[in-house]
Structure 1
Amino acid sequence: MRHEGEVVTRRDLELILHGAGVLDAVQAAARLRRSVRGGDTAELGRLISAVDVTDALGRALLTGVLAEAPRGPVDELLATLLDHEDPSTREHAAWALARRPATARALPGLLRLVGAGGFAAVMATLSVEAWAGRRPRRVADALLSALPLQDADARGRLVELLGVTPDARVRQVLRDLVADGDESAPVRLAAARGLGTVPGPADIGPLLVAAGDADPALRVAAVVALAESALPWVADLLQAQAGTVADSADPHDRMLVATVAERQLARPETAGGRPDSLRIMQVLLGGRLDARLRSPGAGDGGGLATLLVHLAEHLAALPAVDHVTTVTRSFGGPDVPAVHGLPFESMGAGASLRRIAFGPPGPLAGIDMWPHRIEIERALRRLLRRSGRVDVVHLRFADVGTYAATRVARSLRVPVVFTLAPDPHGPIEAAQAAGTLDRAHFGELDRREHLLFRAALVEGLAEDADGLAVLPRAGGLGEVERLLGAPIPDARRRVRTVAEGIDVRALDAARATLGDPGGAAVHDLERAVAALSPERRGLPVLLSVGRLHRVKGFDRLVEAWAGSATLHATFNLVVVGGDLLAPSLEERTVLRSIEAVSARLGLGAAGPVLLGHRAHDDVARILTAVRHGSTDARGPGVVGACGLYACASAKEEFGLALLEALAAGLPVVAPRVGGPSTYVEDGRTGALVDTTSVTALRAGLLRAAAMRRDLERAEDA
């Protein structure tokens, strides 16, 4: 007779191996991980055997389950999978080994993956770093033996691992590499960064040599390391070096100057304050974040960047809060405003923005930040150490910033509060329902978007974070737990539902200046509409605001609008968001998809209009113009009144731009899943639809178009 637990285990294994639903398999794997971690190994033999007979999704999920098993045959299997022909399997095997004891059998395979680069190197680095903490001499021996056999970039990655290996020989090796002018740039760069964790007197000489090197990246890395020294004469030298490049436009020089300036800063977050008041740090490394929200919609930015800036300001105004520090990335470039290279910005009383530098000097997509994870952790550790008391770290996105900040905060015993969204669980379910995701193609998508790793990050924080904030959903906390596949431990104590809102001051200001001839944002909108074919002038606008990312569904929105004679004849479609001058890889992909739909439908000079990213205040002015229309000296302008707003995202946990559109008085079309269903009244203030379906999206637009006629009547009354 089989026990109930055994039946459940076998049912979950069947879902992993043969279930049609990807999310069902992900949830089953999470249950099995917890079961095996708790000591249930009755089906361990079958789990090991199943790895050879399943697909890429099954292998990836099973390696995660087997990582929790006792020591034994699992270690040999995972070492073998490091050489599997499927790249996704290699990645997940490398990641699983971080939770296993260090073995001589697997270490060479991990180092091969580190040398090969890519996301598999990121995963292998995690495992080697974890093993270095447990068996430092064995890992140092393996790294030192592998160094001569690799090319320059691969050696750089191995030297980076040497820098986090607590072996007595490492420091001298790093000094020798930094001082070796014949050594390759990636190796010297990694060695300089490795010496940056509180450099001792013997480290100063090699770092000073590197600080004067012709390679700009090495100069910056050496200055960052030297800035950690407590020696006064080193500080004087750094100040002098920064002075020689103070007026340079080179992004490396700007980063060097910012590093030295950051060291000299008077830090408001460390001074004064009451001992019983909170000092909060929140981290968002993606996008373009600045105190005035000049370009939140470029790159990986968007509503989250806007929300965190406003959240910091409003938290800082609470009596119980002493200071809020928001951390983002420092970068520069010819088309990047200088503000993004500043180490510090005030956000008003009690709030500040701090920037950390890592990776190349220019913009960097979130997905491309993972190879810089060790560098990010070092920068966050330096910042936390310099910031004095930090009582809590607030995180809210399943990305490298959250992963790195969680590790650093835990190592320093700083509590972590996570704003929990079931992402990527929700998007996986939505893609399944839309028929755009299945088992056969999951491996390719996972390699590009790291879905399983992000899912495990979210699930881990749901279990371990000191506190959790969840956004309102139609199904409440139960819906979040359904998507995660398990109840949240100790939810009564740890979870709070927080109904987020918007700052309406920008909208109020926009309404107050309606018709202002100096409104550049509305003028840009008018010029873009005027450039369309003549019959398009004076039409109301169907507006959508968001970063140019595939999840936002802009190609579906174009097809839904243009595929309806009524919608196309009634509205001009305008999209606000994205860097059109220097688009990222993801932005280029979305732009190509919009162009493809437009070409297929023969839109030509009929639109859509792409305005690119705008400052937050300018978005408010555009929303106001879409609601009330534009005017000129002769009367009505080229933008008609009583437009619509549409969000075609596969899901929205909150939907800041949607809420701002409602506040501006526009009917909206929004995803039925996620947060919008808690504040959009279907049939009254907007239409809730399955936004993954072009047909459903079009029907929702037509319903919202009927609602706007009420606005027209109100305008005429």
Structure 2
Amino acid sequence: MGIQTAMDRITESASIIEAMRAADDLAFEAGRDPGVRTLRVLSAALSGDDDLAAIAAVHALAEMNDEEAARLLSSLLSSPRPYIVEHAADALGRRPARPEAVGRLVRLVADGGFAGMLAQHTLEKWSTGAAELMAVALETACTGALSDDARARLVETMGLVRHPLAVRPLRAWATDAAAASAVREAAVAALGQRREPAAIAALEDIVVEGGVIGDLARLALIDAEPVPSDCADGEGLTIAQLFLHADIDPSLSSAGSGDNGGIATLLVRLGDALVAEPAAVRRVLTLSRGTAAQAGPDLLHVAGGETGHVYGHIPLSPPPVSSAAAWPLRVSVRRGIRRLLRAAGRVDVLHLRMADVGSLAAADVARELGIPTVFTVAPDPHSVIASLERSGTLTRKDFGRADLAEHFWFRTHLVQSLAASAAHSVFFPRPELERDMHALIGIDMSSHPERHTVVAEGVDLEVVDRAVAHARRVADGAEPDAALAELGALLDELPEERRRLPLLVTVGRMHRIKGMATLVRAWAEGPLADAANLLVVGGDLEHPSVDEREQLDRIDTAVPAAERAARGLLLTGHRSNDVAADWLAAARFGLPDRAAPGGVYVCASLKEEFGLAILEAMATGLLVVAPDSGGPATYVEDDVTGFLTETANPAKLIATAERALERAARGDARAASRARDLVADRFTIQGMAAKLAPVYESVARSEAELQRAAELLA
């Protein structure tokens, strides 16, 4: 189509998402015709005020086999626009090493953050062809005046350089008892990627020190061992699944805290269901974050061939960071995932679900170890971008600033990359699924339909039904269990006149995407506060993350902490999944003298790809208020089992909640039964497991056929 036409498609596109997709054509045209005219068009975009066109031009430069284009791309590392610097650091990784850019990339690594991760990734790629240059540059930089964290990042990067020159400084840093702990830990982990006798000897000496550094040295020695051959003992498949940003345990004790949202609950329930079914899955390995002390025993369980649902922890230094801030952990995450998957002996399928640093690192490991992946494709952040653009809070002229915080460009391309490399793609139900996947992500589901499966997520009805039965008995006068007694004590803090009101309930992570603060403010400022108390379940109130703190500050602005009880706001923090189920049931049936029956569940999320908490509320028999797009629109029967609304519009959200309360006050048992039956028929965790097991079998069977074919040619 020509370079100018390709650029016109970006600048004249009807939406941000459309412009981002058109950037691929621009890059193709730049690579096809790397001439003077192409360079002029891209330079003009870089000097203009259209952020999307400028970012697209950066990535197009990387595709040009042209010395002038390479010099221009390198110079962008000094751009006064930080978002251009980030994208230049990323794009340079697709070019051969540029000596004049190494120093600036090293400084970005030292500075840390997302840009540092991108720069480190580029230096890692360059080290395969220019290892000596990388090693000398990094060692020289470490002699300068740096903070401990900055030096640790450079040491970690040195560990990615595959050259004997890197061993000596790594060993010196690892054995220096006077060095900062962060620096020593980075050097110890890096030595685990070496098999030189000097590296092994240093690690063996450090193990004796004990403590955290000793634990890390022990893990590094495991890393240094040769990759074991496939262990094909036993019948059945081994499936690995991952969510890095959660403290996942069988009891789900951290559900709703930090990033421990519905995905953590899902992985626990799904893993149990997969191994309980009379199907092909023998073992499920669920990976999440943890400590070095946890990682050692986990490896013994995994390597010991334990069947059933097994948990493995990827050691990350405290405190936990949110998914948005975790990108700089790419290298340590990759090492932890690789260690666990190697220990498993044989992993037949790795299921990835999020476009985050965990999936980025796990995809690298899967390629290295030859493990096929299944990827659950969701238009995230595509849906968020579209929603923000519709509301007017995101435009193409301020996209760069937003991208610095949210990494929209990188994440959308990561989704495309993970989907393209997956052996099989899984999709959530959506009202216009095929249209949305094509328009937002560029996936044609009609092409190779045998490699695409629509799978609804599911809930554990046994937990819900148990909670409903108990709440019904308590409403009839029975003694409450511990969970409902705790809820009763919380309600006792409200003024007596408010204890005659029903409950609006919302459950989930305290994150701006989930709309907790938006819901509180809209409830507090309108007539809805006179009609119901608001119960917000989620978040770590004692040690909030950055995202949680932002939401709590907004909530405190709407309803100061000292006024919460008097005004009917109950901010409880996170609770286990079982306790949350009990509280949802109590909202439906009420608690004698503390809460009226006829409560309503409200999801104020900006977007919900599926919405497990909504389904749990529906299974309880609660009327729900949910987003009118994404997954909920496929199962909430509007004006029957719930109400769909534009949750980004506070006025519409509150008006819809008022309608739901009015309907709930009439006690429509038939609608409650209909909602529960819907969940039982279509959205149980057992049904989800039954749908996924054949997908895993098919992928494993195809991979085995490919392996046999390759062996015949060898």
TM-score bracket for this pair, using the shorter chain length: 0.7 to 0.9
CA distance in 2: counterparts of 1:612 and 1:38, whole angstroms: 55
1:439–1:228 distance in 2 versus 1, CA, 3 Å: closer
CA distance in 1: counterparts of 2:259 and 2:441, whole angstroms: 25
Residue 137 of structure 1 is matched in structure 2 by 132
CA distance in 2: counterparts of 1:372 and 1:429, whole angstroms: 29
CA distance in 1: counterparts of 2:250 and 2:459, whole angstroms: 16
CA distance in 1: counterparts of 2:636 and 2:361, whole angstroms: 36
Equivalent residue runs for 1:556-705 within 5 Å? 556-565=518-527, 567-599=528-560, 605-630=566-591, 636-705=592-661
Higher relative contact order (CA 8 A, sep 6+): 2
Q: CA deviation at 1:213?
A: 4.9
Establish whether residue 169 from structure 1 lines up as the match of residue 165 from structure 2.
yes
CA distance in 2: counterparts of 1:229 and 1:165, whole angstroms: 15
Residue 281 of structure 2 is matched in structure 1 by 321
Establish whether residue 495 from structure 1 lines up as the match of residue 452 from structure 2.
yes
Establish whether residue 283 from structure 1 lines up as the match of residue 255 from structure 2.
no
Residue 547 of structure 1 is matched in structure 2 by 509
Equivalent residue runs for 1:204-243 within 5 Å? 204-213=200-209, 217-228=212-223
- Select between 538-547 and 173-182 the one with higher mean Cα deviation: 173-182
Deviations 1:308-335 (A, max 9, x none): 1112122222512221111011149xxx
Establish whether residue 330 from structure 1 lines up as the match of residue 330 from structure 2.
no
Q: CA deviation at 1:147?
A: 2.8
Q: Answer whether contact 1:474 1:674 (CA < 8 A) is retained.
A: yes
Q: CA deviation at 1:57?
A: 4.2
Q: Answer whether contact 1:645 1:668 (CA < 8 A) is retained.
A: yes
Q: Answer whether contact 2:193 2:224 (CA < 8 A) is retained.
A: no
Q: CA deviation at 1:208?
A: 3.8
Residue 9 of structure 1 is matched in structure 2 by 6
Q: Answer whether contact 2:499 2:595 (CA < 8 A) is retained.
A: yes
2:521 is paired with a residue whose SS is helix
Q: Answer whether contact 1:328 1:355 (CA < 8 A) is retained.
A: yes
CA distance in 2: counterparts of 1:682 and 1:382, whole angstroms: 48
Q: Look up the equivalent residue of 1:482 and give its one-letter code.
A: A
Q: CA deviation at 1:190?
A: 1.9
Q: CA deviation at 1:408?
A: 0.9
Q: Look up the equivalent residue of 1:650 and give its one-letter code.
A: L
Establish whether residue 405 from structure 1 lines up as the match of residue 362 from structure 2.
yes
Deviations 1:482-522 (A, max 9, x none): 12256469442322111222111101111233326352222
Any stretches of 5+ residues in structure 2 without a counterpart? 673-714
Q: CA deviation at 1:68?
A: 2.9
2:61 to 58, 63, 66: 66
Percent sequence identity over aligned pairs: 39
Q: Answer whether contact 2:271 2:286 (CA < 8 A) is retained.
A: yes
The size of the alignment, in residue pairs, is 659
Deviations 1:574-624 (A, max 9, x none): 011111121111111101111112259987611321111111111111111
Q: Answer whether contact 1:31 1:486 (CA < 8 A) is retained.
A: no
Q: Look up the equivalent residue of 2:633 and give its one-letter code.
A: S
CA distance in 2: counterparts of 1:490 and 1:691, whole angstroms: 34
CA distance in 1: counterparts of 2:427 and 2:33, whole angstroms: 31
Residue 152 of structure 2 is matched in structure 1 by 156
TM-score w.r.t. length of structure 2: 0.86
Deviations 1:461-491 (A, max 9, x none): 2322221101010102221221225646944
Q: Answer whether contact 1:671 1:688 (CA < 8 A) is retained.
A: yes
Q: Look up the equivalent residue of 2:328 and give its one-letter code.
A: P
2:343 to 386, 396, 411: 386
1:364–1:13 distance in 2 versus 1, CA, 3 Å: closer
Deviations 1:623-669 (A, max 9, x none): 11111112xxxxx2302111100100011001000011111101111
Q: Answer whether contact 1:298 1:578 (CA < 8 A) is retained.
A: yes
Q: CA RMSD in A?
A: 3.0
Residue 237 of structure 1 is matched in structure 2 by none
Q: Answer whether contact 1:324 1:350 (CA < 8 A) is retained.
A: yes
- Select between 684-693 and 438-447 the one with higher mean Cα deviation: 438-447
Residue 421 of structure 1 is matched in structure 2 by 378
CA distance in 2: counterparts of 1:189 and 1:499, whole angstroms: 42
Q: CA deviation at 1:64?
A: 2.5
Residue 256 of structure 1 is matched in structure 2 by none
- Select between 459-468 and 125-134 the one with higher mean Cα deviation: 459-468
TM-score w.r.t. length of structure 1: 0.85
Establish whether residue 469 from structure 1 lines up as the match of residue 426 from structure 2.
yes
CA distance in 2: counterparts of 1:339 and 1:82, whole angstroms: 40
CA distance in 2: counterparts of 1:341 and 1:174, whole angstroms: 23
Q: Answer whether contact 1:313 1:348 (CA < 8 A) is retained.
A: no
Q: CA deviation at 1:145?
A: 3.2
1:73–1:619 distance in 2 versus 1, CA, 3 Å: same
2:559 is paired with a residue whose SS is helix
Q: Answer whether contact 1:153 1:186 (CA < 8 A) is retained.
A: yes
Q: CA deviation at 1:458?
A: 0.7
- Select between 43-52 and 575-584 the one with higher mean Cα deviation: 43-52
1:202–1:672 distance in 2 versus 1, CA, 3 Å: same
CA distance in 2: counterparts of 1:482 and 1:592, whole angstroms: 37
2:374 is paired with a residue whose SS is strand
Q: CA deviation at 1:5?
A: 5.8
1:488–1:404 distance in 2 versus 1, CA, 3 Å: farther
CA distance in 1: counterparts of 2:654 and 2:332, whole angstroms: 46
Deviations 1:200-255 (A, max 9, x none): 543343224434559x5533322322344669xxxxxxxxxxxxxxxxxxxxxxxx
Q: CA deviation at 1:180?
A: 3.1
Any stretches of 5+ residues in structure 1 without a counterpart? 232-266, 333-337, 631-635
1:681 is paired with a residue whose SS is coil
1:377–1:351 distance in 2 versus 1, CA, 3 Å: same
Q: CA deviation at 1:688?
A: 0.7
Equivalent residue runs for 1:96-107 within 5 Å? 96-107=91-102
Q: CA deviation at 1:182?
A: 4.4
Establish whether residue 528 from structure 1 lines up as the match of residue 525 from structure 2.
no
Deviations 1:509-561 (A, max 9, x none): 11233326352222222222221222110311110001000011112212332
Q: Answer whether contact 1:193 1:221 (CA < 8 A) is retained.
A: yes
Q: Answer whether contact 1:330 1:340 (CA < 8 A) is retained.
A: yes
Residue 469 of structure 2 is matched in structure 1 by 512
Q: Answer whether contact 1:199 1:226 (CA < 8 A) is retained.
A: no
Residue 298 of structure 1 is matched in structure 2 by 257
Residue 189 of structure 2 is matched in structure 1 by 193
CA distance in 2: counterparts of 1:68 and 1:700, whole angstroms: 50
Establish whether residue 355 from structure 1 lines up as the match of residue 313 from structure 2.
yes
